[in-house]
Structure formats: structure tokens, C-alpha cells
Amino acid sequence: MTTIRSLTTRLQRVPLTRPWAADVASVGIVSTHVVRSDGAEGWGFSWSPQIGAPAVQALLAHDIGPACIGRSAAPGEAWQGLWEHLHEAGGGGITTIALAGLDLALWDAEARSAGVSVSQMVGRQRERVRAYGSGVNLHYPLDELLAQVQRWIDAGYDAVKIKVGKPDLAEDIDRVGAVRELLGPDRKLMIDANQRWDLDRATTSVDALSHHGLAWIEEPLRADDLLGHAELARRIDVPIALGENLHTVHRFADFLRAGAAHIVQPNIVRVGGITPFLRIAELAASHGAALHPHLLPELSGQLALALPDSAHEVLVEDVEDAGFGALGALADPSPVSIRDGSLTENDHLGLGLRFSPVLTGATARSRP
């Protein structure tokens, strides 16, 4: 059995070209490097935009690192045991975000040793997937928001998502109406409230905005409010999308069984890596729900290419000015390209996501 020999980490912050908020001008990356007992190497990462990256690195260094040595290096085989080992620190959140750093590196090592990309190893099903334009834009003045939407139109996107949740509903109505007018009737428009509403406010707001032809309303309520989302689903006709702040397959199952979500949006890092993401994709398909991965198109796009066909087309989220390649964070060319609103994969091995400078056994302090 090929086992894990060592795990090393490095914490770095990557400046954003366009800050997401006054206090979010960079994102935290914990680069990971794994060496297997057969000498194969893999590179992965954990990600947390503003809060928790040092805690993620500490968990990798002090708990995951010592516990993973000697366990199977085959992708997925060590995941459940390590999740159970970490469980007293929490079943999801910091623990699953940290686990992703190891899981991604193990998938990368396996694919690199086989001379293929991860999408090829999982089983690539298609050569391209559609992307939608997205932005952290609630704080933009209306003219700046419309300029952003026009950039997405010019770039060939046929679906876009904007933020809602202004204190005055009338302002949301004006902004969504102006965006719909610019988009025209044929492009999809999604809105994201980022947990800003309670049940009654969500009901009122969605009713007022729904005549603009909404493809979905994202995170209308507090992310863990299962009963609230189930009740809202009974009150409104717009599909509910959520999942970026759900961290385990068990929680996704709760929401799907309750009819509280029509569209699930797992973030591959937040759920713990590729291993649990594939389980969540199977779960969504079994419930007839659409799945659109949250953020990180250089990672999620590769997995989207490998998801089995289902009743729903998978969409990849492309946040303006936030791609790792565009931010200059990668040591190698980006593993994916997005042109004319579609994502395709470029030639690369493994995940093709090594952060600059590259973390190696020679340059990083061994952990444990």
C-alpha cells in the first residue's frame, strides 16, 4: 500500500485586484505539499478569503499532519478516518477546510503519477462547461454595477449573478430592474442575498423581484436555517440555491430531504476537497437537484468537466478579477481558460494548481 510520508504547508495572502469589501482586500491561501512513500509528490491548497487561514494552517500542521502519516495515499481512502479524528474540533468549517488541503494534494499526486489531469482521472465527461459572471458588488453604485454587467455581456456570458440585500427594498428593485433591462430577456439573471434576510423579508423581497425573471435566489436566509428555507420554498416560486456555507454531505442531505434547496453550490475547499464533493454531487443527482460549484473556477471547473450527465446543466461561477491566474498567484499557467462564456481545460498534470513560489520538500519546513 502506498502511504503518506510527509505533509508541508505555507500560508500566504494574495491581494485582490478589486476588493470584495473594505476589509477584504486579499484572500488567504494555505499551500500544501504531500510526498508519498513511493516518492510521488502532490500539491494542493486550502482557502479562506478573510477569516481563519492561520487556524487552517495550524490544524494542518498540528493535527492533520501527524495523523495522516502512514495512512493510505490513495485519493479518498484516508478522508473519513481523518474527519473522525478531527471531529471534536467540529464536524465542518475549519476542519473540513483544512482537510481539503491534504485531499487536493493526494488527488494531485495520484493524477501526476499517472501522467493525467485530475478531470481525466475522475473521468472527463465533456470538453467545456458554461460559466456565469459573478461579482461581490452590493456596494457598487448602480452605474458601476451596470458597467460590470456590460463587461460580462461583452465577454460572452449568457448568465450573470448580482448581490441584493440593500436596507431599502426599493433600491434592490431598481438595481435588479436595471440589470435585467441591460441583459435583455434571453440571458439568465441570478440574485444572491448572502444571508441578509429573515423569512418574512425574504418572502416580500423575492415576490417583488421575481417578475424580472430570476433563475434563482441564493442564500436568502441564514445559511444553517433549514426550517426557514423549507418554509420559504413553499412560499415562493423562484428556485432556492445554497451550499457555499454547508460543510458536509450530511448537511446537504438534510436540506435536500427537506425540500429546502433546489440548487446546491458546494465549495470544493469548504466541504473538504474532491472526495466529499463527488459524494455531494451524487447526492444532488439522486434528489434531482442542480449542482453549480461555488467559486474557484480553476478547481471547480475541472470537476465540472468530470461530473456525470444529469437532468441539469452544471454552471461554473467566475467572479470578476478573482481567478488565481489573473491574480498572479500561480507558478504555472492556469489549468483552465474561460472564453466566450465557456470554461475549457488546458493541458496540465494533476490539478495544475501550484502556488508561487512552489512549495516543495526542499523549500518548506517538514510537518510534522
Catalytic residues: 163, 294
Q: Hey, what's the cell of 34?
A: 504531500
Of 7, 103, 132, residue with least CA distance to 62 = 7
Alpha-carbon gap, residue 195 to 304, rounded angstroms: 26
- Beta-carbon contacts of 96 under 8 Å, excluding residues fewer than 6 positions away, are 83, 247, 248, 270, 271, 272, 276
Other Cβ atoms within 10 Å of 248 Cβ, number: 21
Q: Which three cell numbers mark 122?
A: 475522475
In sign, the C-alpha dihedral spanning 39, 42, 43, 47 is negative
Under a CB-based contact definition with an 8 Å cutoff, are residues 45 and 273 in contact? no
Please check whether residue 241 is in contact with residue 292, taking contact to mean a CB–CB distance below 8 angstroms.
Answer: yes
Cell numbers that stand for 284 in this block? 444532488
Q: Would you call 256 helix, strand, or coil by DSSP?
A: helix
Residue spans of beta strands (DSSP E) within the chain: 4-15, 26-36, 41-48, 129-134, 159-163, 188-192, 214-218, 240-242, 263-264, 290-291, 315-319, 336-339, 342-345
**Closest C-alpha to 193, from 232, 168, 211, 219:** 219
Beta-bridge mates of residue 132: 317
CA distance 49 to 362: 28
C-alpha cell at 167: 436596507
Full 3-state SS string of 284-297: HHHCCCEECCCCCH
**Residue 191 β-bridge partners:** 162, 217
